[in-house]
Structure 1
Amino acid sequence: MDFFQAQNDARRNTNRFVLLFIVAVMVLVLLTNFLVMAFMGAFSAYFGNDLVMGRYADSLLASGGNSADILSWAFWKAFLRVFDWQMFFGVGFIVTAIVAAASFYKIMALSSGGKVVAEMLGGRLIRPNTELPSERRVLNIVEEMAIASGTPVPLVYVLPEAGINAFAAGFTPGDAVIGVTEGSIRHLNRDQLQGVIAHEFSHILNGDIRLNIRLMGLLHGILIISIIGSYLLRYRSSSRRRRSDSTAATVVLGLGLVAIGSVGSFFGSLIKASVSRQREYLADASAVQFTRNPDGIADALRKIGGFAEGSTLESPSAAEVSHAFFANGVRSMLASFLATHPPLGDRIRRIQPHWNGEFLEAGRQADEIISTETPEPVANQSFPFQGAISPAVADIAFAMNNVGRPQQQHLEYAHALIDQVPNELIEAVREPYGARALIHALVINKDSEVRKSQLEHLEKQGDQGVHELTARLLTLVDALGNQFRLPLIEISIASMRQLSPSQYQLFKKNLSVLIEADNKISIFQWALQKIVFHNLDSGFNKPSVFSVTGKYSALSQLENEIGILLSLLVHAEHDNYKDAEKAFNAAKRQLDNIHIKLLQSSIINLNELDTAIDRLALLKPLLKPRVLKACAASITVNNHVSVIEAELLRAFSAAIDCPMPLLLNPLNKG
């Protein structure tokens, strides 16, 4: 399954669990009605003391008076006529309102992104500049994978749990976090930990994290009935000295609500299981494809099976997040039926078909090779090229065919890139002040007069220390190869997520001033600003939890936006109108039946481009590859790719939530 199909399936799964949620609410309404009617003495009113009074008697009389006719249609037809529909709909409205309010409250509480989930589980943030070897190992793996896949580096939390487990959470890659238990850090070697983290990256790339957070919010509404019942029982316990009929009735009501809540819990587990299991198989396969090391993730699963604590978490909130874990995080009496994850053995055999059935002890590393076969990367061979192509164009083709599906080559190249970056720059971008200074330095103009005014502005308006650090990094940034720019930006984003809201707003304001200091915005400056703000805004400005994805179902709905995007892309490299037209027509051929025209460069407004890209991000997932292929066709029409074209393509791809992996062929010219 490719990235776009996985994204589309995530949307369909959302619709699926919403339908199951509605069914669950209807069941809760019926059961709560029954309980409330019993609690209020409804049976007495309906049946009377001798079963010949009240509405039951009316139903019998209307059906001919024979109690044996209770199963007949005539009886129930009469019963429905005298049924207290006002009470039924009143209780139904109250239950639905309570469930909806509880779901809304929980979703809003989770709207700050993945860090809320991590903190709910007792997680502790690993600072990007940590020097602890065990934590540094985890962060290095996460950094390499993020850079390889073309996504911002997520924050990493360590959970105080002995079990071997991990999770990813958030609404978007920009506010995503990865959590790893202490047991995972202590008992997994680098290859195994890399396999686990690659699995979690798959959930980020495929859109599963947004699905999981919405699932947590909606299921909280189903469980609220049980929570209310538990509260009533605690209230009764605190007032047990006052024995009366009312307190006894409160106990009955509380127990009834807890019982009904258990039905809600059953439905919640059923919904999570129905949505989660196949996504876990897909994430396992993606991890193997990413690392090209099936033994890594398979041995992590084998180690869970041979570990006394397994993958279980002790946190009281673990059940709420169970569907987001790497492996089953909670024990259940109906584990085989309601488990959110497939059995360990099934997952291992899909990765290692010749597995001998033995698990690994947590205290030792795997020393045998179960399978020497390394799966070939799965690529969508639909990129529009024929004949001999240059290495740079082949690189674009490889990246395009692996959007959201980075390969081992990308991971190895990311590792090599980080090793080549000067230590002073790496140390700087791993803390908030240095990260801001690096971004500022990337947009500082090489013209001495403009540069002077930019630095003076930072000295007056920037946070204390940012100006000095920016000035110190300028020499290193000026000598920096183009292939290092986007990876450093992606690491910087993780560090800047630790800024306070006021610091972030000041950073945004200063960055805009620096970019506009020479009264013009270069394409690179625009791309940098788009990537940084697109990813950080989702963390500092709470994303709309009810935002519509897949709003547009046809490219014809966004013809104007596609025209703006492609026009800017071809004009970025071609000053000659005929050359630009040739590139534009190459792109147009990838968009059947779409009526677009090449715009003059003088009328393209970058604000309009921002709006166009934001709307293109709302395309249905299966339509996005056509837009990206059109972009790729336009920049490769002459069998050559410039630096600015490659950076723009990756910026566009990231902005419409289709992260493109690293380009393996460094482009230092153009």
Structure 2
Amino acid sequence: MSAMNFFHHQDVARRNTRLLGILFTLAVVLLVSLVAVLVSYFLGGIQYQETAAYTQTGADWYLAWDVIIASAGVALSAIGFAVLYKWMVLRPGGKVVAEQLGGRRLSPDSRDPLERKVLNVVEEMAIAANMPVPPVYLLDQEPAINAFAAGYSPRDAVIGITRGCAEKLSRAQLQGVIAHEIAHILNGDMRLNIRIIAILNGILFISHAGYLLLRFGALGGRRSDGKNAALPLLGLGLLILGGIGVLFGNVIKAAVSRQREYLADASAAQFTREPEALAGALQQIGVAQKRGSGSKVESPNADEASHLFFSQAVGKFMSVMATHPPLGDRIKRLMPQWDGNYQANAEARPDIPAKESDQKATSQAFVERLTAMAVAFDLPEDVVADARDPEHAKALVLTLLLSEDEATRTQQLALLNERVSDVLYDDVVAHIDSIKAQPMEQQLPMTELLMPALKMMDSRSADRFLQTMQAVIDVDAKVSLYEWCLYQVVWRYLKGEHARNELNVRGYKRRRQHDAKLTLSVLAHYGHQDDQASAKAFRQGADLFAADLDSYPADMLNFSDLSDSLTRIDQWQALEKERLVNAWVACAQADGTINPVEQKLLFTLCACIGEPLPELPAIQSPQAPA
């Protein structure tokens, strides 16, 4: 995993986005021009004259440019509004795509053996990638083997799995598929994929308009003056032009998508260190194709989202239209020694208890998984179990916010007693001892486990919960570094779930130096105990960032400015982010150690800009002041 430079691949994805934008722009310009010519012809803006005496130019064609320009403007506006509409529909992120494809959101605390298998694998892969666990959607009505990742960033990403994928793949094979989708998230492919859906919807609108005119003209009959006769012809022309536009748009989409699939396969193989497992999953698709299902998704919305999937989702196409490379090519890249034969798994539903009603086997597997996660996170098993429950997860976050100072904590609990339900309050109190017994470096990363359960809240509940968090923080009229970090992570991920909460990011390029300087100053100041060590740490980070920066004095640092800076940094190019993240790590490591304060700051800074936390050395004590 460490050898895979996801920042580089995100930069490639951005370059592909720009290339895609150029190609789609050319396609739209050509389409608009043709539509303008067609509409103008039927409106009389382009007329053939029998004699040159009637023309403006001495030619046989009369061109009314005002009509042509107006027609082009109408066509361009129609396409633009269709793109904007689709963009707004998809604005909340990946969950909208998953729901449109017929996905059902899995509860993080599900005990169903099949669902538990999927949830556990997604949890493992996300945590291994140092990113919060994304929500999981199961496409219950899809027997084919397929999966997808959708969203704009890790904050609003979701993973979708078809029932066939969950049932027919072994656990190792499913890990390979999920690692492939995690790679799409980390490689920055998802925003590109959402843009493709929106742009193609705009182009498709021309076809829809043509179809409506064709139907209207046909149903309206032909008037004696012949004026209605042109409508079906105009509609037919628009239908044809729109179809051609969609065709070329899909060719561009497929070409970009195929390259991203090769990259995600390579990333997943390096991520899991088991290319054979991913190749095995692809082989199961080949086996399933011979039996009729393969990877084809039956949802009526599968076509527009075909480039999101793990494998070809909308049937067989000629190679130029295929959104995914041939199965054989992908397997050969992963297993050069493959003999070309698709080897089926021994069992129809591997790794799942033979009887789903066998609660003993399911419960045992659930307990074993909790034990493994408790060991990995160094947390009590009951805390790990509660992290998956939507109600308990809220209590855990509020418990994490409670102050170490006894007097302040008493005030915070009194406030909670007034603001939240008795059940939630009692839950908070019940978790105090187990949560506060954990070292600081274990508390903040717990949010990685909590996110799927917290995201089960609806928008109104999430807003109320964030207001309660802020009220708990405000009890002592000051904000500690720990409180700021915890609130920022929860706030940004909950907002990513319910809406693209775009703050004012104008001028983010102009303020690039300031934002780098501020984040390095905060990290240097809070992570080191004296001015000399802080100055050395800042200089080490600034040198790696390759900028002539001077640290801000401590009295100029405030969390409000830091939050705004991180929102702007989130808009940076991927390679610029990589330089800054490397500078942050260098700043933290200037004294040869990473202490708990630096660890929680690095975790929060990376989460706020939508990047996974880099691999860090073991946390060292003593702790710097918070």
User: Shorter-chain-normalised TM-score: which range?
Assistant: 0.7 to 0.9
Partners of 1:483 and 1:667 within 8 A in 2: no
Match of 2:455 among 485, 488, 497: 497
TM-superposition CA deviations, 1:114-167 (whole Å, max 9, x none):
111111111111111111110111111111222222222111111121111111
Rounded Cα–Cα distance in structure 2 between residues aligned with 1:18 and 1:547: 22
Unaligned runs of 5+ in 2: 351-368
Deviation at 1:188, TM superposition (A): 0.8
Aligned to 1:520: 478
Q: 1:552 — aligned with what?
A: 509
Structure 1's unaligned 5+ residue stretches are: 63-77, 368-410
In the alignment, is the contact (CA less than 8 A) between 1:147 and 1:414 conserved in 2?
A: no
User: Are the structure 2 counterparts of residues 26 and 619 from structure 1 closer, same or farther at C-alpha, using a change threshold of 3 Å?
Assistant: closer
**SS of residue in 1 equivalent to 2:312:** coil
CA root-mean-square deviation: 3.0
The whole-number CA distance in structure 1 between the counterparts of 2:518 and 2:414 is 36
Q: Are 2:33 and 1:30 equivalent residues in the alignment?
A: yes
Q: Are the structure 2 counterparts of residues 434 and 240 from structure 1 closer, same or farther at C-alpha, using a change threshold of 3 Å? A: farther
Q: Distance in 1 between matches of 2:86 and 2:504?
A: 13
Q: Secondary structure at the match of 2:126?
A: helix
Question: What is residue 338 of structure 1 aligned with on the other side?
Answer: 321
1:648 aligned residue: 601
Out of 480-489 and 434-443, give the one that drifted further.
480-489
Q: Give how far 1:343 is off.
A: 1.3
- Which of residues 597, 604, 612 in structure 2 aligns to 1:659? 612
| Closer, same or farther: CA 165–667 of 1 in aligned 2, 3 Å | farther
Pick aligned residue for 1:451 from 409, 421, 427 = 409
- In 2, distance between residues paired with 1:484 and 1:591? 29
Matched AA of 1:283? A
| Counterpart selection for 1:626 from 574, 579, 583 | 579
- Paired position in structure 1 for 2:158: 177
| Separation in structure 1 between the aligned mates of residue 94 and residue 63 of structure 2, nearest angstrom | 48
Superposed CA offset, 1:225-268 (max 9, x none) = 11122233444566679999566543333322221121021122
Distance 1:247 1:185, change over 3 A: farther
CA offset digits 1:552-582 (Å, max 9, x no partner)? 39xxx53333332222222223332222223
- CA deviation string 1:635-664 (max 9, x = no partner): 222222211112211221222222115657
Query: Deviation of residue 454 (structure 1)?
Result: 0.7
Instruction: Tell me, yes or no, if the aligned pair for 1:152 and 1:535 is still in contact at 8 Å.
Output: no
* Superposition pairs of residues 271-282 of structure 1, within 5 angstroms: 271-282=252-263
Cα 1:139/1:649, change in 2 over 3 Å: same
Alpha carbons 1:148, 1:661 under 8 Å: kept: no
Higher mean displacement: 466-475 or 496-505: 496-505
The number of equivalent residue pairs is 598
Structure 1 residues 257 and 477: alpha-carbon distance in aligned structure 2, compared to 1, 3 A threshold: same
Correspondence list, 1:152-301, <5 A: 152-159=132-139, 160-235=141-216, 249-301=230-282
Distance across 1 between alignment mates of 2:35 and 2:569: 45
Which residue of structure 2 aligns with residue 471 of structure 1? 429
Partner in structure 1 of residue 48 of structure 2? 46
Q: Would the alpha carbon gap of residues 54 and 188 (structure 1) be closer, same or farther in structure 2, given more than 3 Å must change? A: farther
Match of 1:603 among 556, 571, 576: 556
Q: 1: distance between equivalents of 2:211 and 2:344?
A: 41
CA distance in 2, matches of 1:9, 1:223: 28
Question: Could you say if the C-alpha distance between residues 499 and 264 of structure 1 is closer, same or farther in structure 2, counting changes exceeding 3 Å?
Answer: same
Q: Distance between the aligned counterparts of 2:426 and 2:27, measured in 1? A: 59
Alpha carbons of 1:165 and 1:208: their partners in 2 closer, same or farther (altered >3 Å)?
Answer: same
Deviates more, 1:188-197 or 1:582-591: 582-591
AA partner of residue 326 (structure 1): F
Letter paired with 1:228: A
State the match for 2:342 in structure 1.
Answer: 359
* Equivalences for residues 69-84 of structure 1 within 5 A: 78=59, 82-84=62-64
Contact 1:147 1:662 in 2 (8 A): no
1:94 corresponding residue in structure 2? 74
**How far apart in 2 are the matches of 1:20 and 1:545?**
30
Pick from 283, 286, 296: which aligns with 1:305?
286
Pair 1:662–1:226, CA change in 2 (3 A): same
| CA distance in 2 between partners of 1:359 and 1:247 (Å) | 58
Conservation of the 8 A alpha-carbon contact between 2:255 and 2:320: no
Given the superposition, is the C-alpha separation of residues 594 and 422 from structure 1 closer, same or farther in structure 2, using an over 3 Å criterion?
Answer: same
Q: What code does the residue aligned with 2:589 have? A: T
Cα deviation, residue 322, structure 1: 0.8
How far apart, in 1, do the equivalents of 2:305 and 2:324 lie?
A: 12
Return closer, same or farther for 1:328/1:7 CA change in 2, 3 Å cut-off: same
- The equivalent residue for 2:7 is 4
Residue in 2 that maps onto 1:113? 93
Task: Rate the CA distance shift 1:309–1:547 in 2: closer, same or farther, 3 A.
Answer: farther
Query: 1:26 and 1:615, CA in 2 relative to 1: closer, same or farther beyond 3 A?
Result: closer
Relative distance call for 1:200 and 1:240 in structure 2 (3 A) is farther
Residue 129 of structure 2 is aligned to residue 145 of structure 1: no
- CA change 1:440–1:42 in 2 (3 A) is closer
Q: Which amino acid aligns with 1:607?
A: S
Shift of residue 283, structure 1, vs aligned partner: 0.6
Relative to structure 1, the CA distance from residue 470 to residue 117 in structure 2 (aligned partners, 3 Å threshold; closer, same or farther) is same
2:520 maps to which of 566, 581, 589: 566
Q: Is the 8 A contact 1:150 1:654 kept in 2?
A: no
TM-score with structure 1 length normalisation?
A: 0.82
Q: What are the Cα deviations for residues 390-444 of structure 1, in whole angstroms up to 9, with x where unaligned? A: xxxxxxxxxxxxxxxxxxxxx9x99574575333222322132211111111121
1:184/1:193 contact within 8 Å kept: yes
**% of aligned pairs identical?**
38
Q: Secondary structure at the match of 1:514?
A: helix
C-alpha distance in 1 between matches for 2:505 and 2:320: 33
CA contact (8 A) 2:520 2:541 kept: yes
> What is the SS of the residue equivalent to 1:298?
helix
Provide the secondary structure at the position in 2 that maps to 1:178: strand
Q: Retained in 2: the 8 A contact 1:107–1:545?
A: no
CA contact (8 A) 2:593 2:619 kept: no
Which of structures 1 and 2 has the bigger CA Rg?
1
Would you say the 8 A contact 2:154–2:611 is kept in 1? Answer: no
Find the aligned partners of 2:39 and 2:453 in 1 and give their Cα distance: 53
Could you tell me which residue of structure 2 aligns to residue 575 of structure 1? Answer: 529
CA distance in 2, matches of 1:161, 1:136: 18
Give the TM-score normalised by structure 2: 0.88
Is the 2:599–2:619 Cα contact (8 Å) retained in structure 1?
Answer: no
User: Aligned match of 2:394 in 425, 436, 439?
Assistant: 436
